[in-house]
Structure 1
Amino acid sequence: MSQPLPTRPPTRTLAPAPLLALAVLLGVTAPGRAADLQVMSVGDSITAGFLYQPRLKTLLEGSGHTVTFVGSQGSGANKHEGFSGKGIYDFVGAIPLASGSKHYITTALDTAWPSVPAGVVPVVLVHIGVNDLGHGLGRSNLTNAPQDGSGHCLAAQMFAQDSSGSWINPMGDLDGMTYGAWLKLRLDTMVDLILAHASHPRLVVAKILPIAKGNSSFQANNDNCCERIKEWNGYWAAKVASISGTDAARITIVDCFSDAEPKRVYGTVPDVSFWGDATVQQSDWVHPNSAVGGGYTLMASKFKAGIDILLSTTPAMSANWSGSVFNESAANDGTISTALTVTLTNDTFTGLNGDDFAVGGKVAASNLPSGLTLVARRTSSTVMTVTLTGAASAHANANDVANLGVTFANSAVASSTASAVTGLSVSDRRIDFNDPAGTLAWSAPNVSVTEGGSVTLTVSRIGGSAGAVGVAYASTPGTAGTADYTPVSGTLSFAAGETSKTVTVQTTQDALVEGAESFTVTLSAATGGATIGSQATTTVTIDDAVVVPAGTLAWSATTATVAEGSPVTLTVTRTGGSAGTVGVSYACTSGSAGVADYTSVTGTLSFAAGETSKTVSVQTTQDTLVEGAETFSVTLSAATGGAVLGASSSATVTISDNDGQTVTPTNSQVIASKSGCGSGSGIAVLLLGLTLAVRLRRDRIAA
């Protein structure tokens, strides 16, 4: 977005110079090559009067140049960028600029020279600063300015802060700077913007007019003004001297009014004869005199001398390439992803934006691989974009190109001498085809492993091995859970040139009959430019082991009976395998038989390799109690050596009682007893007592 020329308060406007019709031919010639000049004059009312420009044109044409004035102001052949009453900060506005905005000086240059025709030399003439120093204005527009009652020079102390505070700009905030520093920043910016413009103009800046007044009441103040103007002009000169490099040949400064320095006798009225005769240089103490031989004539001759200097010192023409290598795209398909730009200094490209110079024969390529086409497209008057389109037929590393040539014809540049533009035509551009980082994937989609064994999985790197890359991996349960294998996760790191890495997973041996089970291992998060291939997941199948080599341990019988007081022997059998040494623990557990009825045993049975049975003996206890059958159990546990417990891990032992039988006497026995004892009553009581005793014993045990 262009920034329009700002409106200034009317109190800062200079009275325009009288427009006097005259034609002066000085016939002065100066060194310099004949050129087609397009001239933009920039400034205030001294420029807007368009009085020095016709004289300058006459002088330049006298040296063999053709001259055209350009600008948004004026009409016909009298074009310019002069604005009555304006200052330098009307051409250079806010710093920094709002996004999308342009300073007015940039807009003017863009409008005049969107592109520069072949053979044309753009020239900018600048005379500005009179209004910035505030000639003719009272101090009422400043805050905290000292009041001396007669001052009319706003800039009497422009390069310092006064005793009452900083100068305040009538146009707005000074961002904490003194007025002089604020103006210097805009002067610097204006020069830099002109020199940086794509049209690469020559720039002639002029020191501004030293002012004087014909009224003695203003004499002291005008002396101060002249000192500030000299200081301003000195800063102009310092800025020009600071320009270095190729830009230094495109800028110069002239002193249009050094011959018009006022002849003052301080304390008296200035030398009126100097200002009043026919040779006067200033018509109103501000503007040059337009009479023959007056101030405008002097300006024309000084600007002519500055242009001659710039034309006689031809700036070095050069080209800067943004890079030297065209790189193959990541797809590794022979296409080129890189675009290089070529930027000219002190020369311009011919043609129009968008033109492909390769099609027009203005640019040619050499050593270009088959399948590729060079495109050299103009994007501005000083910038060209060079690309390689299509796809190279052969694009392995061995097909890299180190000597791609790009040659510009003379018709490609406005100077018509491409060979004089340093760095424009080249023969050492490179084309680098990828040795890509590669694609990472499992070498097999499915693998199998026997239960209890380990499996090694391989990650392959294909399609390239450039640079160090990495990839993450992690296992995920399927029908096989984490009890069936040891989960794994981590990162595989490949050094440059490495093409494979492995991951090992251990499976778990068990005695369960499970059938085949599976889990997966997946790749993710490739780094270093590598990609993950279609085989990102591999499935591992665990084949169940049919034989348990160590065997199964169990009781040969789950029940046994033993008479009270006798030992019982129980047998542990080893079936289904007898490999290796195994062991098993055993222990008694009371039931209706307590520890008084048997001797409790615990211990471990050890089976040597090949042994298939072991025994455990338990001694029961004889007593005289009438108890009935009682039971206890013996249980197996904690199999070792890879053996497992079978279903018959507990055996129940029943103890048969042999005490306390009830005897009922027969009639004959009772009769015999009676006859053997003189009285039957004692025998009957004895028998009854025995019977009750037995019954009481049984009842107690039952209870």
Structure 2
Amino acid sequence: VSASADAASDANESVLLGFGALPPAVTEGTNGQAVVTILDVAPAPTDVAPPSADVAPPPPTLVAVTVHFEQASYTVGEGSSAEVRVQLNQDPDRTVVIPITEMGQGGATEDDYSGVPASLTFNAGETEKTITVSASADAASDANESVLLGFGSLPQAVTEGANDQAVVTILDVAPAPTDVAPPPADVVPPPTDVAPTPSLVPVTVQFERASYTVGEGSSAEVRVHLNQDPDRRVVIPITGMGQGGATEDDYSGVPGSLTFSAGETEKTITVSATADAASDGNESILLGFGALPQRVAEGTNAQAVVTITNVPAVTVQFNRTSHAVPVTVQFEQASYTVDEGSSAEVRVQLNQDPDRTVVIPITETGQGGATEDDYSGVPGSLTFDAGETEKAITVSATADAASDANESVLLGFGPLPQGVTEGTNGQAVVKVSDVPAPVPAATPTPAPTTAETVGTGGGSFRLLWLILIPVGVAALLVVTLYVRRGRR
């Protein structure tokens, strides 16, 4: 927002910003309006003489203060008054004059209210002043009237605080009947020295949360809180509006109001959702507050949305099952080795007595080229009776002449019965070791020999054989024979 510079003296100019007709499910927050006050800046004189050398030093620095309304909203009934407090955040240490602005809203004019001063004067040491706004009682039906209070052009070192505006809502009070008989002559008039009504404790009211969820056929507790003990009886009007097609047939339990007595700071609304067969997943309820009583303002969660969850109809049935002792099954080892032509025992174990008959399905998978021709003995299942915790599988490896060193069998478990789960070793590998075929024995082939005659005195001679090894390599074997005397 830009303000045009002009030479006119127009210190009370301002711009009121607000919201138009809001779309569904959108409501105004705390600051439903904003006032932009235009400060009048006098043009600088062109014939100002230069300052003399003996100009006094500048005044001391002013204490910076902020000014704000104690609350952003107030309520007053026709024929009554409301106290609107204006506060400084600290002692100004000087006299500070705060200009006050007022604007009737919803058709309100100066005939409908009074008591708004043009300014408030804070002396040194003062931090709070009170504006008493009185609403005129009339016979007109004008429920939307209110007064917007704000601040004018603030003096030096004074700035606006959080609540720089306050709305005083005027509640329409029905006029008293005109045909009431006058009081009898002997009625004692009320005393004139009645003590003034004590100041009401300011409280804020809010929902504990901004959103809740409730399933059809169930209930949700929505809590409403006051920020402190009201020290009096406070009636909080509650509003409820169905959204997403929700009607009063879809929910119940939203009261017209909640009553807090002195000492009470929490109340509960139990919202129940009706169970039906319709598919209506977007239903919800918007809860809020109506016109709040004097000295009661809305807190952070001024609204709460209760979303109704659509619950489909279900059919429930019970299966009668016996209680099964939970057990785990595993192989004793993760790997085994068996030579071709031999067997290996693979043990399968339960961690405890199953207390029933348990059938454990066994799976087998040949690996490294192994087929059912290379091994045998793997059953389709193992049956553990009550009290049994270990079974053995005897895996036999077939002996063959093939060179197949990488063959193995992977054992595992199939789908396990109820109450049975796999343990650590859920699989076991049985490696088949390749055993080579035996080498045929060498066959000696006689070769021509050289004989020596042994005399009667004894001696020796040598025989020569040529041995043919199956692999085709010839070797010479020398055998020395000893003959005793007298024998050949």
Q: Which protein has greater RCO, CA pairs closer than 8 Å, 6+ apart?
A: 2
Scaled by the length of structure 1, what TM-score is found? 0.23
User: Which structure's residues are more often strand, by fraction?
Assistant: 2
Q: Mark the structure with the bigger radius of gyration.
A: 1
Scaled by the length of structure 2, what TM-score is found? 0.31
User: Which structure's residues are more often helix, by fraction?
Assistant: 1
